[in-house]
Amino acid sequence: MSLRIADLMRSVPDWAHVDPLSAEVTAWLDRAYQTVHGIDPVEAGAMRVHAQFLPTDVRRHSVEILEALRRVNKKLEGRE
Protein backbone atom coordinates (compact mmCIF):
# COMPACT_ATOMS: atom_id res chain seq x y z
CA MET A 1 0.00 0.00 0.00
CA SER A 2 2.87 2.40 0.69
CA LEU A 3 3.86 2.10 -2.96
CA ARG A 4 0.43 3.39 -3.95
CA ILE A 5 0.82 6.39 -1.64
CA ALA A 6 4.31 7.04 -3.02
CA ASP A 7 2.90 6.86 -6.55
CA LEU A 8 0.21 9.38 -5.65
CA MET A 9 2.80 11.71 -4.17
CA ARG A 10 4.91 11.47 -7.35
CA SER A 11 1.92 12.12 -9.59
CA VAL A 12 0.44 15.10 -7.73
CA PRO A 13 -1.08 17.52 -10.24
CA ASP A 14 0.77 20.76 -10.88
CA TRP A 15 -1.71 22.77 -8.85
CA ALA A 16 -0.40 26.09 -10.17
CA HIS A 17 -1.18 25.16 -13.77
CA VAL A 18 -4.22 22.88 -13.77
CA ASP A 19 -7.91 23.49 -13.47
CA PRO A 20 -8.94 21.99 -10.11
CA LEU A 21 -12.18 20.83 -11.74
CA SER A 22 -10.49 19.14 -14.71
CA ALA A 23 -10.94 15.44 -15.39
CA GLU A 24 -7.23 14.85 -14.70
CA VAL A 25 -7.41 16.39 -11.22
CA THR A 26 -10.74 14.77 -10.41
CA ALA A 27 -9.38 11.34 -11.37
CA TRP A 28 -6.25 11.87 -9.27
CA LEU A 29 -8.32 13.01 -6.28
CA ASP A 30 -10.58 9.96 -6.63
CA ARG A 31 -7.57 7.62 -6.66
CA ALA A 32 -6.06 9.42 -3.68
CA TYR A 33 -9.30 9.25 -1.72
CA GLN A 34 -9.83 5.54 -2.40
CA THR A 35 -6.25 4.68 -1.48
CA VAL A 36 -6.18 6.74 1.69
CA HIS A 37 -9.64 5.59 2.77
CA GLY A 38 -8.37 2.02 2.90
CA ILE A 39 -5.67 3.07 5.36
CA ASP A 40 -7.13 5.95 7.35
CA PRO A 41 -10.77 6.95 6.80
CA VAL A 42 -10.34 10.11 8.90
CA GLU A 43 -7.52 11.40 6.68
CA ALA A 44 -9.59 10.45 3.64
CA GLY A 45 -12.46 12.54 4.97
CA ALA A 46 -10.15 15.50 5.51
CA MET A 47 -8.86 15.12 1.96
CA ARG A 48 -12.43 15.05 0.64
CA VAL A 49 -13.21 18.33 2.40
CA HIS A 50 -10.07 20.01 1.05
CA ALA A 51 -10.80 18.69 -2.44
CA GLN A 52 -14.26 20.20 -2.23
CA PHE A 53 -12.76 23.65 -1.62
CA LEU A 54 -9.89 23.44 -4.12
CA PRO A 55 -11.55 25.80 -6.61
CA THR A 56 -11.79 28.56 -3.99
CA ASP A 57 -8.19 28.37 -2.73
CA VAL A 58 -5.97 25.98 -4.66
CA ARG A 59 -2.80 26.90 -2.81
CA ARG A 60 -4.13 26.22 0.69
CA HIS A 61 -6.17 23.11 -0.04
CA SER A 62 -3.62 21.45 -2.31
CA VAL A 63 -1.04 21.75 0.48
CA GLU A 64 -3.48 20.17 2.94
CA ILE A 65 -4.15 17.27 0.58
CA LEU A 66 -0.44 16.62 0.14
CA GLU A 67 0.10 16.82 3.90
CA ALA A 68 -2.63 14.21 4.43
CA LEU A 69 -0.80 11.91 2.00
CA ARG A 70 2.45 12.48 3.90
CA ARG A 71 0.80 11.67 7.24
CA VAL A 72 -0.69 8.45 5.85
CA ASN A 73 2.65 7.51 4.32
CA LYS A 74 4.39 8.11 7.64
CA LYS A 75 1.77 5.94 9.37
CA LEU A 76 2.43 3.14 6.89
CA GLU A 77 6.19 3.40 7.34
CA GLY A 78 5.68 2.93 11.08
CA ARG A 79 3.87 -0.36 10.45
CA GLU A 80 6.68 -1.87 8.40
- Going by the DSSP 8-state scheme, the letter that residue 18 receives in this structure is S
Number of neighbours of residue 34 by Cβ within 10 angstroms = 11
pTM of the model as a whole? 0.89
How do the pLDDT tens digits run along the chain, 80 residues long?
678 898 999 999 999 899 999 999 999 999 999 999 999 999 999 999 999 999 999 999 999 999 999 999 999 888 75
Work out how many domains the chain is built from and give that number: 1
Task: Annotate 21-57 with DSSP letters as a single string.
Answer: TSHHHHHHHHHHHHHHHTT-HHHHHHHHHHHHTTTT-
Structural domain for 55, as ranges: 2-79
